[in-house]
Amino acid sequence: MALPNLFRLIYRNIRVNTDPGSLVILVGLPGMYLIFFGFGFGSLASAGGDSRAYLAFLAPGIMSFQVLLAGTVGGSMLWADRRYGMLSQLLSGPFTRFQYLLGIILASVLFGLGGAAVMLVVALGLLGSVPTLPLSLAVMFGTIVLGSLFFGGLMLLLGALVKSNTTYNSIQILVLFVVNFASTVFYPLSNSLPVVLRAMFWVNPLTYVANAVRGGYTGSLTVMDGYELLLLTVEAVVILALATRAYLRSDISFE
Amino acid sequence: MALADPPSSPRPPGGPDPVIFAQDLRHSYDGKRFALNGVSFSVRRGEIFGLLGRNGAGKSTLIKAMTTLIQTTSGTLRILGMDPAREGQKIRNRVGVVQQGESFDFSTVQGNLDIYGVLWGLSKPERVQRREQLLARFGLEDVRKRRAFDLSGGQKRRVQVAREFMHDMDVLFLDEPTVGLDVIMRHTLLDSIRSEAQRGLTVVFTTHNLEEADYLCDRVAVIDEGRILLLDSVENLKRLYGGKKTVDLTVSGADVPEFYRQLGERLGARAAVTVHGKEAVILSDETKSVLSEIAQLSQASGVQLEWLNVRGNTLEDVFLRSVAHPERSNGAA
User: Does B1 score more than 80 pLDDT?
Assistant: no
- Chain B environment of A16 (Cβ under 8 Å): 105-107, 115
Residues of chain A whose C-beta is under 8 A from some C-beta in B? 2-3, 8-9, 11-12, 15-16, 19, 80, 84-86, 88-96, 252-253, 255
Domains in chain B: boundaries:
20-238, 243-330
Question: Closest approach of chain A CAs to the CA of B327, in angstroms?
Answer: 30
The rounded mean pLDDT for chain A is: 90
Q: What is the mean pLDDT of residues A222-246?
A: 93
Give residue-wise pLDDT tens across range B194-212: 888 888 899 998 887 777 8
Q: Do B99 and A2 touch (CB under 8 A)?
A: no
Q: What pLDDT score was predicted for residue B243?
A: 60
Give me the residue from A12, A95, A252 closest to B115, CB to CB. A12
Q: Is residue B180 left, alpha or beta, with left meaning phi > 0 and alpha meaning psi from -120 to 50? A: left
Give residue-wise pLDDT tens across range A88-133: 999 999 999 999 999 999 999 999 999 999 999 999 998 888 888 8
Instruction: Return the residue of B nearest to A103 by Cα.
Output: B119
Which of A12, A17, A89, A254 to substitute to test the interface with B, most B CBs within 10 Å?
A: A89
Q: What is the mean pLDDT of residues A181-193?
A: 90
Q: What pLDDT score was predicted for residue B159?
A: 93
Give residue-wise pLDDT tens across range A37-90: 888 887 777 766 666 888 899 999 999 999 999 999 999 999 999 988 899 999
Q: Say if CB B36 and CB B179 are below 8 A apart.
A: no
Q: Say if CB A11 and CB A3 are below 8 A apart.
A: yes
Three-state secondary structure call for residue B27: strand
CATH fold of the domain at B20-238? Rossmann fold (3.40.50)
User: Does B11 score more than 70 pLDDT?
Assistant: no
Give residue-wise pLDDT tens across range B28-84: 988 888 999 999 999 999 999 999 888 888 888 999 999 998 899 999 999 999 999
For chain B, what percent of residues have pLDDT higher than 90?
Answer: 44
Give B181's pLDDT tier (boundaries 50, 70, 90): confident
CB of B285 less than 8 A from some CB of A: no
Q: What is the mean pLDDT of residues B314-333?
A: 54
Q: What helix, strand, coil percent values describe chain B, rounded to 5?
A: 40, 25, 35
Q: Say if CB B63 and CB B56 are below 8 A apart.
A: no
Q: What is the mean pLDDT of residues B237-250?
A: 76
Give residue-wise pLDDT tens across range B288-309: 888 999 999 998 888 899 999 8
Q: Do B104 and A84 touch (CB under 8 A)?
A: yes
Give A3's pLDDT tier (boundaries 50, 70, 90): confident
**A–B interface: beta-carbon pairs under 8 A:** 70
Q: Say if CB B68 and CB B88 are below 8 A apart.
A: yes
Q: Say if CB A60 and CB A225 are below 8 A apart.
A: no
User: Does A28 score more than 80 pLDDT?
Assistant: yes
- Looking at chain B from residue 4 to 43, which residues have their Cβ under 8 Å from any Cβ of chain A? none
Q: Do A92 and B69 touch (CB under 8 A)?
A: yes
Give B7's pLDDT tier (boundaries 50, 70, 90): very low
Q: Do A15 and B107 touch (CB under 8 A)?
A: yes
From A153-157, A179-183, B1-5, B149-153, the region with the lowest mean pLDDT: B1-5
Q: What pLDDT score was predicted for residue B72?
A: 92
Say how far apart CA B161 and CA B196 lie, in whole Å: 13
The rounded mean pLDDT for chain B is: 85
Q: Do B102 and A2 touch (CB under 8 A)?
A: no
Instruction: Return the residue of B nearest to A88 by Cα.
Output: B69
User: Does B4 score more than 50 pLDDT?
Assistant: no
User: Does B242 score more than 60 pLDDT?
Assistant: no
ipTM: 0.86
CATH fold of the domain at B243-330? Alpha-Beta Plaits (3.30.70)
Q: Do A12 and B104 touch (CB under 8 A)?
A: no
Strand partners, B252: B304
Q: Say if CB A67 and CB A141 are below 8 A apart.
A: no
For chain A, what percent of residues have pLDDT higher than 90?
Answer: 62
Q: What pLDDT score was predicted for residue B8?
A: 40
